[in-house]
């Protein structure tokens, strides 16, 4: 019989050939083929235990054949949660049971449409999508402002793809199929001409677009831009208005003896109409009636006008037409008109703006002494046509403004106001509605997520527009203004604390603004006092509707609070999503997403609650998270996407070539049948548990009990938690290798020194082909890496893949099982000839995984090798366990078990001693090897 020393030397010299020889044996090959073909057809643990051929094969592979009879025991092992330190398998002293349980997927978390990590990632993306839209808007707006400075022709704009895309997005136009020639025709059209290209060949969106640019028919931009009125021009016009208005009135009113004399004087007539808001449609006859008949004046809303003069019923006066106090009041009212004119001119972009505003138009008519009855068309001509202006006695009128003949400002591609307008429109169009709550879309109380860029534009709009407000109803008619005020003073649904559950509506807001008593009762005195509205809603303060200081304060508060309400709704949406996507029994919704149909249901269908009916459903939240719309991914298509393998490079999802859709699909765990399937992670839960356990073992293996070990144990637990959290972010091999804390953890857990492995080396190892005997993994890497690479669900390119997953056993575990079966078979067959060879082979195979001397004591085969190698007396087994460990420490160092050369030296020592103990004749060479049969009790394996 060949000695164990010789047999071990032959086998260990070329272990692969030895294993291949065993694998080629007909019975072994048949068993292996059957196992590979059927293990993942097993339905559950009972089905596995009931199939003796599969079950016994696996038990043999893990060296547990002597426990094959104990099915009830093994069922508890297989169903153990290896992430729970107190689970059945983890509490068993023999680590083989834990290794066996880790090879199968019989204990997995209940399937979920999304894991908590996937859910958190998607909710984060959902929230981020709104924030990103603001960043994108700010970036593109900055580019637009900068690039437009260099635009001198329509070709400059059309030839810049980024500018062109900006314009298309601003006006909600899909520019994919819009030709440059069509766009140029639109931008060079005269919007005011009903027969122009844009008005006959394009829709309202294009008409709106054209109004924001000043390209001439030839595509040029014309002269250097100027504001509608320079400061000098405005000062001159105000001086002219005062001279022809207030000053003239104050000097002439004292000589007026009757109403007809007043009305026949064009300047006085204009002054009265301008100061007391009497429109040009009111005839002089009617105006005379209002000045002389208090009753008729009151009936038509002109009480203030009537009481400002002292005309008798017949139009005569008793002394003078006005008292001194009345004249002062009239002059003060004209000063208010002047202040209004100055404020509003900041917002004027063309002659049409002046014509459309009665206050501005009246002021200009006073300034140039033209009749209040002048038509809007003629007012435009007055401001733009020198010949016409001269014909009506106001030759200086056109030079007081910077208008072209068509009423536009003299300018470039855009005036400042047009540029600000388009930026405002772009930013506001980039706002995304969070939720429409119990009303029709577009109602004033819709809640929007306001981006920081949009908030800045809202601030600019408010500060500009508040100067034009002359009565509270004008303010209330502007939803954007009222929304701004509500946000600034926390009057939204969630912010108002007066007991009105749904916040302060516009009716309530109006009352607070004009009624100080009500404002005080509601605790909104600050809001009331921030505005200058009289009880009848009018504004008589020289500051207008708000003083500059109050506007600044309102805006300061708005910028602090503009997103409060949207954030509250965002919380509602995300909370609702989380409740719905996972089992929610106990929350009042009683929902549970079990399949693709459940996920695609809307909120009204999926549960019995009505509270969430108006919130976005799960499908739309997911679309938003990944930058998709229902047009991009309709439900019918989403169903196919979610039931396809999003990690298959040749699959349906990959064929769409849309990263957004790929990420959408990977955020869920639906199988091809539409039911919840297996989540694809870089490591299975069992593998995660294995690395965590091994990490702790290697970290503590050389430490004696005491405070230092206790601290190290706590630190190890923190490292394990950090590893789990870090792995949640790993979506590819590059992610893994880019995080040295993760790779260091993995290397330490298998007993390798991270200092020996650079990122490039690890990448070569992970991207090697395990099936190629010449690959880097199989020729140059430590053998421990074969298991590590097999554990990770990466393909050869470093991407996540489902190809390694199995219903019962993943590919890596299946490979290890089959390799274990071959090794056990080889050892068993060798043991039939010489048990020493079997023990030697077994110890060599298990040595790299031994992290505790207690493991050796708990495994009879391992202990027999050590006992024989160091000629320990048989009485050792009856000693106290701790004393046995103390004794073993004198003979061997655990860290040497990670060194193949030192393990080989120990095993050869064992085979020599075994041969001595089990043979009466020693070969001369063996005597030399063992020093004549004596042993050294020196410290290490060698």
| Structure tokens belonging to residue 94 | 């023999």
Pick the range with the lowest mean pLDDT from 31-45, 96-110, 539-553, 831-845.
Answer: 96-110
| Structure tokens belonging to residue 914 | 């075994």
What is the pLDDT, as a whole number, of residue 429?
66
Q: Is the dihedral of CA 78, 79, 85, 89 positive or negative?
A: negative
What is the pLDDT, as a whole number, of residue 115?
83
**Torsions phi, psi for 676 (to 5 deg):** -65, 130
What is the spatial distance between Cα 121 and Cα 116, in angstroms, rounded to a whole number? 8
What is the spatial distance between Cα 870 and Cα 96, in angstroms, rounded to a whole number? 25
Please determine, for residue 402, whether its predicted confidence score (pLDDT) is greater than 70: yes
Pick the range with the lowest mean pLDDT from 279-288, 555-564, 862-871, 917-926.
Answer: 917-926
Helix, strand or coil for residue 510?
Answer: helix
Please determine, for residue 931, whether its predicted confidence score (pLDDT) is greater than 70: no
Pick the range with the lowest mean pLDDT from 128-142, 536-550, 686-700, 868-882.
Answer: 128-142
| Structure tokens belonging to residue 104 | 């199968």
Please determine, for residue 796, whether its predicted confidence score (pLDDT) is greater than 70: yes
Average pLDDT over residues 370-381: 92
DSSP classification of residue 751: T
Please determine, for residue 506, whether its predicted confidence score (pLDDT) is greater than 60: yes
What is the pLDDT, as a whole number, of residue 225?
53
What is the spatial distance between Cα 776 and Cα 760, in angstroms, rounded to a whole number? 12
Listed residue (822, 815, 828, 645) closest to 39, CA to CA: 815
Highest mean pLDDT among 144-148, 421-425, 513-517, 594-598: 513-517
Please determine, for residue 705, whether its predicted confidence score (pLDDT) is greater than 90: no
Please determine, for residue 591, whether its predicted confidence score (pLDDT) is greater than 50: no
642-668: burial string, b at 16+ Cβ within 10 Å, e else: bbbbbbeeeebbbebebeebbbbbbbb
Average pLDDT over residues 282-310: 93
Beta bridge partners of 447: 435
Cβ contacts of 920-924, under 8 Å, gap ≥ 24:
923/3
CA distances from 903 to 96, 251, 831, 836 (A): 20, 119, 20, 16
Please determine, for residue 574, whether its predicted confidence score (pLDDT) is greater than 70: yes
**Local confidence band at 926 (pLDDT 50, 70, 90 cut-offs):** very low
CA–chain centroid gap for 70, Å, is: 52
What is the spatial distance between Cα 377 and Cα 636, in angstroms, rounded to a whole number? 57
Pick the range with the lowest mean pLDDT from 8-22, 210-224, 512-526, 632-646.
Answer: 210-224
Please determine, for residue 532, whether its predicted confidence score (pLDDT) is greater than 90: yes
CA angle in degrees (0–180, nearest 5) for 742-748-752: 120
What is the pLDDT, as a whole number, of residue 941?
39
Beta bridge partners of 432: 449
Please determine, for residue 777, whether its predicted confidence score (pLDDT) is greater than 50: yes
**Local confidence band at 938 (pLDDT 50, 70, 90 cut-offs):** very low
Pick the range with the lowest mean pLDDT from 23-37, 524-538, 666-680.
Answer: 666-680
* H runs (alpha helix) in 265-409: 266-275, 284-292, 294-299, 303-307, 324-345, 351-356, 358-368, 376-384, 386-391
Spatial neighbors of 187 by CB under 8 A, at least 6 apart, are 154, 157, 158, 209, 210, 213, 215
What is the spatial distance between Cα 931 and Cα 910, in angstroms, rounded to a whole number? 14
Q: Quick check: 470 and 545 in contact, CB under 8 A?
A: yes
Q: Quick check: 265 and 271 in contact, CB under 8 A?
A: no
| Cβ burial, residue 364 (10 Å; 0-12/13-18/19+) | buried
| Cβ burial, residue 911 (10 Å; 0-12/13-18/19+) | buried
| Structure tokens belonging to residue 585 | 């029994």
What is the pLDDT, as a whole number, of residue 413?
63
**Torsions phi, psi for 544 (to 5 deg):** 85, -155
What is the pLDDT, as a whole number, of residue 430?
61
What is the pLDDT, as a whole number, of residue 424?
66
Average pLDDT over residues 703-713: 88
Beta bridge partners of 311: 317
Q: Quick check: 543 and 421 in contact, CB under 8 A?
A: no
What is the pLDDT, as a whole number, of residue 606?
80
**Local confidence band at 134 (pLDDT 50, 70, 90 cut-offs):** low
Pick the range with the lowest mean pLDDT from 114-128, 611-625, 926-940.
Answer: 926-940
Please determine, for residue 727, whether its predicted confidence score (pLDDT) is greater than 50: yes
Q: Quick check: 677 and 669 in contact, CB under 8 A?
A: yes
What is the pLDDT, as a whole number, of residue 419?
67
Could you identify the residue written with the tokens 């749904």? 502
3-state SS track over 263-301: HHCHHHHHHHHHHCCCCCCCCHHHHHHHHHCHHHHHHCC
What is the pLDDT, as a whole number, of residue 143?
82
Please determine, for residue 149, whether its predicted confidence score (pLDDT) is greater than 80: no
Spatial neighbors of 295 by CB under 8 A, at least 6 apart, are none
Average pLDDT over all residues of the chain: 86
Please determine, for residue 69, whether its predicted confidence score (pLDDT) is greater than 90: yes
What is the spatial distance between Cα 514 and Cα 718, in angstroms, rounded to a whole number? 62
What is the pLDDT, as a whole number, of residue 627?
87
Please determine, for residue 460, whether its predicted confidence score (pLDDT) is greater than 60: yes
Q: What percent of the chain has pLDDT over 90?
A: 54
What is the spatial distance between Cα 351 and Cα 406, in angstroms, rounded to a whole number? 8
Average pLDDT over residues 9-22: 91
| Cβ burial, residue 170 (10 Å; 0-12/13-18/19+) | buried
What is the pLDDT, as a whole number, of residue 636?
93
Beta bridge partners of 670: 676
Could you identify the residue written with the tokens 């109409």? 273
Average pLDDT over residues 660-670: 94
Average pLDDT over residues 282-308: 93
Please determine, for residue 443, whether its predicted confidence score (pLDDT) is greater than 60: no
**Local confidence band at 585 (pLDDT 50, 70, 90 cut-offs):** very low
Please determine, for residue 942, whether its predicted confidence score (pLDDT) is greater than 50: no
pTM: 0.63
């Amino acid at each position: 019989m060949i000695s164990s020393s010789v047999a071990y030397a032959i086998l260990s010299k070329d272990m692969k050939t030895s294993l291949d020889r065993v694998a080629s044996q007909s019975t072994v090959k048949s068993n292996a083929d059957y196992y590979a073909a059927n293990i993942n057809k097993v339905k559950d643990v009972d089905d596995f235990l009931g199939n003796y051929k599969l079950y016994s094969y696996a038990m043999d592979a893990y060296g547990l054949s002597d426990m094959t009879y104990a099915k009830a025991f093994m069922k508890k092992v297989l169903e153990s949660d290896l992430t729970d330190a107190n689970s059945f398998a983890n509490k068993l002293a023999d680590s083989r049971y834990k290794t066996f349980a880790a090879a199968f997927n019989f204990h997995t978390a209940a399937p979920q449409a999304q894991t908590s990590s996937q859910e958190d990632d998607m909710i984060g993306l959902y929230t981020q999508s709104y924030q990103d839209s603001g960043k994108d808007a700010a970036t593109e707006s900055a580019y637009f402002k900068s690039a437009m400075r260099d635009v001198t022709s329509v070709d400059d704009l059309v030839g810049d793809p980024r500018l062109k895309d900006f314009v298309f997005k601003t006006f909600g136009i899909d520019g994919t199929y819009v030709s440059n020639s069509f766009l140029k025709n639109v931008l060079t059209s005269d919007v005011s001409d009903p027969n122009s290209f844009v008005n006959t060949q394009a829709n309202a969106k294009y008409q709106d677009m054209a109004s924001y640019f000043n390209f001439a028919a030839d595509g040029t931009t014309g002269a250097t831009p100027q504001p509608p009125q320079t400061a000098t021009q405005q000062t001159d016009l105000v001086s002219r208005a005062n001279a022809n208005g207030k000053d003239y009135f104050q000097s002439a009113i004292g000589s007026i003896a009757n109403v007809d004399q007043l009305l026949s004087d064009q300047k006085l007539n204009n002054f009265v109409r301008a100061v007391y808001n009497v429109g040009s449609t009111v005839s002089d006859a009617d105006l005379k009636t209002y000045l002389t008949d208090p009753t008729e004046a009151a009936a038509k809303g002109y009480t203030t006008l009537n009481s400002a003069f002292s005309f008798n019923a017949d139009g005569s006066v008793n002394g003078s037409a006005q008292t001194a106090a009345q004249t002062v009041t009239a002059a003060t009212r004209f000063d208010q008109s002047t202040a209004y004119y100055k404020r509003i001119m900041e917002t004027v972009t063309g002659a049409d703006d002046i014509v459309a505003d009665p206050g501005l138009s009246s002021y200009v008519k006073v300034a140039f002494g033209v009749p209040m009855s002048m038509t809007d068309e003629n007012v435009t001509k007055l401001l733009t046509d020198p010949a016409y202006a001269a014909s009506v006695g106001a030759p200086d009128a056109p030079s007081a403004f910077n208008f072209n003949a068509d009423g536009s400002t003299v300018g470039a591609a855009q005036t400042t106001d047009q540029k600000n307008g388009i930026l405002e429109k772009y930013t506001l169009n980039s706002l995304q509605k969070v939720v429409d709550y119990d009303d029709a879309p577009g109602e004033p109380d819709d809640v929007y997520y306001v981006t920081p860029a949009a908030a800045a534009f809202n601030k600019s709009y408010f500060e500009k527009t508040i100067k034009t407000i002359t009565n509270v109803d004008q303010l209330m008619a502007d939803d954007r203004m009222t929304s701004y005020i509500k946000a600034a003073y926390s009057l939204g649904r969630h912010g108002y604390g007066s007991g009105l559950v749904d916040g302060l509506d516009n009716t309530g807001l109006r009352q607070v603004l004009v009624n100080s008593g009500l404002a005080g009762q509601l605790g909104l005195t600050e809001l009331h006092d921030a505005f200058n509205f009289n009880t009848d809603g009018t504004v008589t303060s020289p500051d207008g509707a708000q003083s500059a200081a109050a506007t600044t304060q309102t805006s300061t508060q708005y910028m602090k609070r503009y997103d409060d309400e949207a954030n509250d709704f965002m919380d509602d949406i995300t909370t609702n999503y989380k409740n719905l996507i996972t089992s929610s029994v106990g929350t009042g919704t009683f929902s549970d997403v079990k399949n693709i149909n459940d996920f695609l249901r809307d909120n009204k269908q999926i549960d019995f609650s009505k509270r969430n009916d108006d919130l976005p459903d799960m499908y739309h939240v997911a679309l938003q998270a990944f930058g998709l719309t229902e047009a991009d991914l309709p439900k019918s298509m989403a169903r196919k996407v979610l039931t396809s393998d999003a990690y298959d490079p040749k699959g349906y999802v990959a064929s769409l070539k849309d990263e957004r859709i790929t990420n959408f699909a990977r955020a869920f765990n639906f199988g091809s049948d539409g039911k919840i399937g297996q989540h694809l992670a870089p490591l299975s839960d069992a593998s995660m548990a294995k690395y965590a356990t091994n990490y702790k073992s290697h970290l503590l293996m050389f430490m004696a009990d005491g405070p230092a070990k206790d601290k190290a144990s706590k630190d190890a637990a923190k490292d394990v938690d950090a590893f789990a959290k870090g792995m949640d972010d790993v979506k590819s091999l590059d992610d893994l290798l880019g995080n040295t804390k993760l790779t260091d953890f993995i290397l330490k857990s298998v007993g390798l020194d991270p200092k020996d492995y650079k990122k490039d080396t690890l990448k070569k190892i992970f991207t090697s082909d395990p099936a190629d005997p010449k690959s880097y993994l199989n020729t140059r890497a430590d053998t421990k890496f074969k298991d590590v690479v097999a554990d990770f669900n990466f393909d050869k390119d470093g991407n996540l893949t489902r190809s390694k997953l199995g219903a019962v056993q993943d590919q890596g575990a299946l490979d290890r099982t089959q390799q274990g079966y071959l090794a056990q078979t080889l050892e068993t067959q060798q043991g039939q000839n010489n048990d020493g060879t079997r023990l030697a082979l077994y110890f060599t195979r298990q040595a790299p995984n031994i992290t505790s001397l207690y493991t050796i004591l708990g495994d009879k085969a391992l202990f027999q090798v050590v006992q024989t190698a160091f000629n320990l007396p048989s009485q050792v087994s009856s000693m106290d366990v701790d004393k046995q460990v103390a004794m073993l420490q004198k003979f061997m160092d655990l860290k040497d078990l990670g060194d193949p050369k030192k393990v080989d030296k120990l095993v050869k020592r064992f085979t020599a001693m075994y041969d001595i103990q089990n043979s009466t004749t020693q070969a001369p060479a063996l005597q030399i090897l063992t020093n004549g049969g004596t042993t050294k009790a020196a410290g290490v394996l060698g």
